[in-house]
Copies of this chain bind each other. A is one copy, B any other.
């Protein structure tokens, strides 16, 4: 038997077991060839882990078995506990995974088995990758439904009793599109319940959770979230702690570096989380544009139908809006800059970005109409009234207070980084295109979202006239080096098209 040792290595959600090459009890190389071992404790608990072999007795003695932090946490035993290791029983759902790779359709039981095993960390990252790529190759709409249900079933389900619980989601891809932070307070102000969870940025310069974190704490447990929503009717928290979809949390650690972003996974991920979050009505924003996630009206309609099919089967009332995704929304891109725009809208400041305000009112209005007392077509007027009266701002202040303010005692939003650089037009004319991907890349290179005060501040939008040399946008960077890299990127291609000509920065 081996003595359990906690190895203080954080392997980012993958369970790793460390075994000494000098281990006298086992044929270590043979275990390594198979990649995984099963660790068994006297009490019967079991853990599957990927094996790493250690050649340093100071790190691990020959009679010890090390577990990475994640594995140690999942296993839940004390250090020095006695354990055995064994060739793992094959994870049975891997047969289903192989069938998917071979191009077969999987049934309910197979999706359930795969998703349970993923949520329980029984898959290595390469197995998760194989599952995701296999699904990307071929999936029927029925399979998307099965995957959605399976993902929802392993999550912690929230029950809000009789309350009318609504939610709003955007499929993402449009920099600056922070409508949630306006929609949630307006919907709360109307009296509906909206327990909003958001993600952090995956490949973008900011997720709603990153931007909200400029204003308030977002790393909030399920229990605390429940208490907040019970008290004030809504919240704007990070979904990572809420455990709505533990399988999704694992899959995202693979999707992110691989850059996999399929429709099928998107639908299953979004709808499974809404189901476990206890929502009955969902307004979904699908921006369509040449550099958006969805590029054509045709694709948008196909995606809408997939959402509607699955949503209908799981009992979620869906209002899907195909919106203009031709350029970033608002001016700021990056947490601090976006928080500034959001608060400008909520405070009814004259310079607040009109596109952000109108998009938020459209979506808030659609949600407010989930209230049967509101006549069709009146939702947006109600939303506008709540915004203009300051009721929306007050609701946001309640959220910030309830979650814990991150602002100083003066309540002032921090300024964007003073390390900045202006990107100017190479020639005069009318702006007729802004590449969302390019602008996002520049903002990310500048340091967003790791540096909250980094990003891009747009000074021109589509339809604006510019003169040669006039600034198109300002880059704010976290570090001097990042400013150089981001400026260089903008120099190669600013992302702006002026008079039909793609512009280099000048």
In the complex, which of the residues B36, B101, B254 contacts A126, with contact meaning CB atoms closer than 8 Å? B254
**A54: interface (CB < 8 Å):** yes
Besides the known contacts A9-B59, A10-B52, A98-B259, 12 further A-B residue pairs in the complex with CB atoms under 8 A apart: A8-B59, A9-B54, A9-B55, A9-B56, A36-B257, A52-B68, A94-B259, A98-B258, A102-B136, A124-B125, A129-B129, A129-B133
Q: Chain A: residues with CB nearer than 8 A to chain B?
A: 7-12, 18, 21, 27, 30, 32-36, 51-56, 59, 68-69, 94, 97-98, 101-103, 124-130, 132-134, 136-138, 253-254, 256-260, 450
CB distance from A253 to the nearest CB of B (A): 8
Inter-chain CA distance A334–B402, complex, in Å, is 67
The answer on a CB contact under 8 Å between A55 and B69 is: yes
Which residue of chain B has its CB nearest to the CB of A66?
B9
Q: In the complex, what residues of B have CB within 8 A of residue A10's CB?
A: 21, 32, 52-55
A–B complex contacts, Cβ < 8 Å, 21 sampled = A8-B55, A8-B56, A12-B52, A33-B256, A34-B257, A35-B257, A36-B257, A55-B69, A94-B259, A98-B258, A98-B260, A101-B260, A102-B136, A124-B125, A126-B126, A126-B128, A127-B257, A129-B129, A133-B133, A136-B137, A137-B138
Least CB distance, A447 to chain B, in whole angstroms = 9
Expressed in whole angstroms, the Cα–Cα distance for A7 and B35 within the complex equals: 20
Task: Note all chain B residues with C-beta closer than 8 A to A18.
Answer: 9
Q: Which residues of B contact A12 (CB under 8 A)?
A: 32, 35, 51-53
Report yes or no: B101 in contact with A54, Cβ–Cβ below 8 A: no
Q: Evaluate contact between B133 and A258: CB separation under 8 angstroms.
A: no
Bound-state Cα–Cα, A329 to B103, Å = 32
Residue in contact with A103 in the complex, picked from B11, B33, B36, B137, CB distance below 8 Å: B137
Alpha-carbon gap, A11 to B54, bound state (A): 9
Contacts of A256 in B (CB 8 A): 33-35
A128 to B126, CA, bound (A): 8
Contacts of A54 in B (CB 8 A): 8-10
B450 close to A30 (CB less than 8 A): yes
A258 CB to nearest chain B CB (Å): 5
Closest-CB distance, A485 to chain B (whole angstroms):
10
- Assembled-state Cα–Cα distance A53/B56 (Å): 18
Given that A10-B32, A102-B136, A133-B134 are contacting pairs, would A257 and B126 also be in contact in the complex, using a CB cutoff of 8 Å?
Answer: yes
Establish whether residues B59 and A130, one from each chain, have CB atoms under 8 Å apart when the complex forms.
no
Complex Cα distance, B10 from A258, in Å, reads 24
B126, A137: Cβ atoms under 8 Å?
Answer: no
- Min CB distance A248 to B, Å, is 16
CB contacts (< 8 Å) of A257 on chain B: these are 34-36, 124, 126-127
| A362 to B367 alpha-carbon distance, docked (Å) | 76
Q: Which of A101, A124, A129 has the most CB of B within 10 A?
A: A129
Shortest Cβ gap from A40 to chain B (Å): 13
Nearest-neighbor residue (CB-CB) of A29 within chain B: B450
A486 CB to nearest chain B CB (Å): 12
